[in-house]
Structure 1
Amino acid sequence: MPSDNRLAANKTMREARQQYAALCYRLTKTKKKTAIEVLLITSRDTGRWVTPKGWPMADKAPHEVAAQEAFEEAGIRGKVSEKPLGNFSYLKRLDNGTSVPCIVDLFPLRVRKAKSKYPEADERTRKWTSPEEAAELVQESELKTLLIDFINRLDG
């Protein structure tokens, strides 16, 4: 018979809500090599480092939602992949104070433009960093893994 903890975990996963996120990245060239930088933004509620993400939209495919959120939350325009890198989970704090488990599909988005004026510019801070540093800054362990795996995908 399954333990109470396993039953609770299974129930939580069944109740998880879907979100879509963008892993915004750019390649910077120096005289010696090309480096990968990824973009993190602060969340509005806790100020922790996150990727731009949001809820499904009726008229948009998942990768299009990720691209839309990248613009609204970070001022980023670029080419988004239709295929996610993977997914991660976290607890989303809602406006009413409760939390809901979320599963987030993460789509790579190669940055073409970073605008200084965008809808949430006054509510968030942007930070360009190496994927290794980004993995240290984010809290979600599955997102940390996706960031490190992303380096290997681009290098390989």
Structure 2
Amino acid sequence: MAKTPQEARLQVAALPIRWKDGKLRVLLITSRTTRRWIIPKGWPMTDLSFPEAAAIEAQEEAGVVGQVLTTPLGHYHYRKVLSETESCLCKVTVYPLIVDRLEECWKEQDERTRRWVSAKEAVAHVQEPELAAILRVLGKQCRSRADLEALGAPS
């Protein structure tokens, strides 16, 4: 029997963000297996807050260093393949991460591609409709860090 969204396993994600020439850009990475465009995400970590865990995932998966904000932008669901015969529904909480720098060498650099895109381009690249909706709102309403902080979803 499939799990309902209420029974989904929790993951945390960082949405790497920067402004270049006054325009919002987001960093997408490829997944290791299917090579689809995603944002850095993973399981919560013992003794770390969700935003802290999301920031670590961003550093490991995308070589991103920056400031993660503690208010999530929202949530999305996807089905995670665990093996050839097993998968689980995941609910991913998305935290914005304002990028200070990109590392030239990082843990998963040989397994992933990273690309800066506009929020509108990101909407076209990601497969998860709820993540696309978060990106769409971000692109329309986020012109500055103050705008970003105002977008936070209620907990």
- TM norm. shorter chain > 0.5: yes
| TM-score, normalization by structure 2 | 0.88
Structure 1 residue 59: Cα displacement: 1.3
Runs of 4 or more above 6 Å deviation: none
Amino acid at match of 1:78: G
**14-23 or 45-54, which moves further after superposition?**
14-23
Amino acid at match of 1:99: S
- The 5 A counterparts of 1:29-68 are 29=21, 34-68=22-56
For structure 2, list consecutive stretches of 5 or more residues without a partner in the other structure. 148-155
Task: Pick the structure with greater CA Rg.
Answer: 1
> Sequence identity, in percent?
47
Structure 1 residue 13: Cα displacement: 2.3
| TM-score, normalization by structure 1 | 0.88
Measure the CA separation in 2 of the matches of 1:116 and 1:99. Answer: 33
Aligned residues: 144
**Tell me, what secondary structure is at the counterpart of 2:137?**
helix
> 1, 4, 16: which is aligned to 1:24?
16
Q: Which residue of 1 aligns with 2:68?
A: 80
Over the aligned positions, Cα root-mean-square deviation in angstroms equals 1.4
Q: Does structure 1 conserve the Cα–Cα contact (< 8 Å) formed by 2:118 and 2:139?
A: no
Structure 1 residue 45: Cα displacement: 1.1
Measure the CA separation in 2 of the matches of 1:59 and 1:96. Answer: 32
Structure 1 residue 95: Cα displacement: 3.8
For structure 1, list consecutive stretches of 5 or more residues without a partner in the other structure. 1-7
